[in-house]
A and B are shown apart, each in its own frame.
Chain A
């Protein structure tokens, strides 16, 4: 956690700020989704409150705050109340373990008559070193929130939605975790930071008994694992219960699925969980396959020197450099989030048997083939 009070405080605040970053991104994404869907469907969308309808989010939040909160009769109150909280946990814990930028170096400074030694703050909630496995484990707990909501509300639609969501989530988790085996083979590490570091520089690969360098391409994972990236991205759609995989809340059949009985801010917590899942998926996709917070041609040392020449201070230069690389990651994440939203308003929903057979009979074998092919290719190339 840290050596002294200052470091511990900053580390705890940092986690909370990253968590709040995830939470406050949700209204923006909801606005983007509504405006985007309107744009795709040739409508206007919310455009009355504030510029471009941006203040609509605030109005919605106030409306949600003043909704009556009640427990439907026959429902199990502890489960009913705890389910939205449970939906929040996996996204928050997973998002905090992804490195969002390069670490910030703080030089020694004087405060309250004491010298506070040099610090290095990682731009992430915590670096566990076990990154990939931690995120898989935490996101496999997301199912509990759905099941508690479905069973706790004592509504048949909720229960069926929860059962569908569970079966779907666990089916696609297989393809998801198997598609990451290729990534582990190529990088040989669990740590996100090391994965991002490996992806800097020009594309370098070993094949046909020699090393080849393609100077005009970045050394991104997508060039090593194109099929793995595709399977990973498709499986995250199913994990986040987004269209075309939104069978758990198919409104024509199940009203609203597992959150049928929820209203007000409790409902909003489920949305935060879902959008948090999308954000984690986009950040992971960027980290594994698109170089994370690194940008081709942008060297952290050069940026630091430039920032130092502009601001003059070492601390502010370090912070600004981290912000620059954070913006690089945010841009990548924003692109994937837009793909999430665009796909939702473009593709129709699957039928349930198609959904299950896609997961088990198409994506799982292809993910396995991807892993086998990667292993053989690496063995031939590195021998």
Chain B
């Protein structure tokens, strides 16, 4: 039963991911593309969870689906999209690009499934039975001991991004142009 339901879960989530990923490139309206991308993020979070990486799944939900995609959708919703919709829904070039990207994605997916068939159907059941809290503690052990320098460097990087974002919004034409 567990093996069956895990495989079932994988196929549901993988199907959802691929379907919504395809929708990202096939939809002509950018809003629907962004919403489909958000759906992709959510189903990827599901795949993380089904692999036992509960905390990473939560981070995927909170950061990607809950923050990054919200920014994308918000920005898209407030732009004048009429020109973009027209430019993207017609024309030989865009049709070509669409078909080509679908082909590339399809090829990558097929190759990935083919190469990962060993890991998806392991001959022995995976022994990952620790609780979410325990696995997060193991993650913390790695993050704050072995990879401590990367962690602090990432903090500095985030600070630089924050300063850069504010500085960019203040250049000519921004709301702080008068100051």
A171-219 residues with Cβ-Cβ distance < 8 A to B are 173, 177, 188-191, 194
- Which residues of chain B in 63-89 are interfacial with respect to chain A, using CB atoms and an 8 Å cutoff? 65-67, 70, 73-74, 77-78
A322 in the interface (beta carbon within 8 A): no
Asked if residues B77 and A147 are in contact (CB atoms below 8 Å), the reply is yes
Q: Assess whether B62 is in contact with A133, with CB atoms less than 8 Å apart.
A: yes
- Asked whether A137 lies within 8 Å of B67 as measured between CB atoms, the reply is no
With beta carbons under 8 angstroms apart, the residue of A79, A128, A148 that contacts B132 is A128
Q: How many Å from the CB of B101 to the closest CB on chain A?
A: 23
Identify whether the interface residues of A are mostly helix, strand, loop, or mixed: helix
User: How many interface contacts (CB-CB < 8 Å) are there between A and B?
Assistant: 84
Question: For the complex, is B45 an interface residue (Cβ under 8 Å from A)?
Answer: yes
With A143-B70, A166-B70 as contacts: A137 and B78 at CB distance below 8 Å: no
Per-residue B-contact encoding for A108-146, CB less than 8 Å = 1, 0 else: 000000000000000000001110011011101101100
Chain B interface residue count, CB cutoff 8 Å, equals 28
Q: Is A95 an interface residue (CB 8 A)?
A: no
CB-CB under 8 A from B133, the residues of chain A are 129-130, 188-191, 194
Asked whether B132 lies within 8 Å of A137 as measured between CB atoms, the reply is no
A143 to B57, CA, bound (A): 19
> Which chain B residues border A147 with CB–CB below 8 Å?
70, 73-74, 77
Q: Which residues of A sit under 8 angstroms from B58, Cβ to Cβ?
A: 130, 133-134, 136-137
Given A128-B54, A189-B133, residue A138 in contact with residue B61 (CB < 8 A)? yes
**In the bound complex, do residue A190 and residue B132 qualify as a contact, i.e. CB atoms below 8 Å apart?**
yes
Q: Which chain A residue has the least Cβ–Cβ distance from B31? A: A151
Cβ of A1 under 8 Å from chain B:
yes
Distance between Cα atoms of A148 and B132 in the complex (Å): 33
Interface size on A, residues (CB 8 A): 33
User: Given A130-B54, A137-B66, A148-B35, does the pair A190, B74 have CB atoms closer than 8 Å?
Assistant: no
Q: A361 to nearest B CB, angstroms?
A: 15
B 112-169 contacts with A by CB, 8 A: 131-133, 136
Is A284 an interface residue, CB under 8 A from the partner?
Answer: no
B42 on the A face (CB < 8 A)? yes
The yes or no answer to A170 lying at the interface (CB within 8 A) is: yes
Report Cα–Cα, A174/B38, bound state, in Å.
Answer: 20
| With known contacts A148-B35, A190-B136, A191-B133, A130–B77 Cβ distance under 8 A | no
Does residue B5 face the partner (Cβ distance < 8 Å to A)? Answer: yes
Q: Does B92 contact A (CB under 8 A)?
A: no
A59 to B65, CA, bound (A): 39
Contact of B65 among A3, A129, A133, A140 (CB under 8 A): A140
* Min CB gap B134→A, angstroms: 9
A372 to chain B, nearest CB (A): 15
Cα-based distance from A136 to B74 in the complex (angstroms): 20
Contact of B54 among A133, A140, A144, A151 (CB under 8 A): A133
B61 and chain A: residue at smallest CB distance: A137
A97–chain B nearest beta-carbon distance, Å: 12
- Which residues of A sit under 8 angstroms from B70, Cβ to Cβ? 140, 143-144, 147, 166, 170
Give the one of B31, B35, B66, B132 with max A CB within 10 A.
Answer: B66
Contact indicator per residue, chain B 24-63, by CB within 8 Å of chain A (1) or not (0): 0000000110010010001001000000001101111110
By the criterion CB–CB under 8 Å, are A151 and B67 in contact? no
Cα distance A141–B66 in the bound complex, in angstroms: 6
Q: Which chain A residues border B66 with CB–CB below 8 Å?
A: 137, 140-141, 143, 173
Q: Which residue of A lies closest to B2 (CB)?
A: A1
Cβ distance A168 to chain B, nearest Cβ, rounded Å = 12
Cβ contact within 8 Å between A130 and B55: yes
Tell me which residues across on chain B come within 8 A of A162, comparing CB atoms.
77
Chain A residue numbers with a CB within 8 Å of B93 are none
- Alpha-carbon gap, A162 to B132, bound state (A): 35
Q: Considering the complex, which residues of chain A in the window 309-349 have a beta carbon less than 8 Å from any beta carbon of chain B?
A: none
B residues touching A (Cβ–Cβ < 8 Å)? 1, 5, 31-32, 35, 38, 42, 45, 54-55, 57-62, 65-67, 70, 73-74, 77-78, 131-133, 136
Interface residues of A (CB under 8 A from B): 1, 3, 76, 78-79, 128-130, 133-134, 136-138, 140-141, 143-144, 147-148, 150-151, 159, 162-163, 166, 170, 173, 177, 188-191, 194
Q: Which 7 residue pairs spanning A and B have beta carbons closest together? A: A140-B66, A137-B61, A133-B58, A130-B132, A129-B132, A130-B54, A151-B77
Given contacts A133-B58, A144-B70, 4 further A-B contacts (CB under 8 A): A130-B54, A141-B61, A143-B70, A173-B66
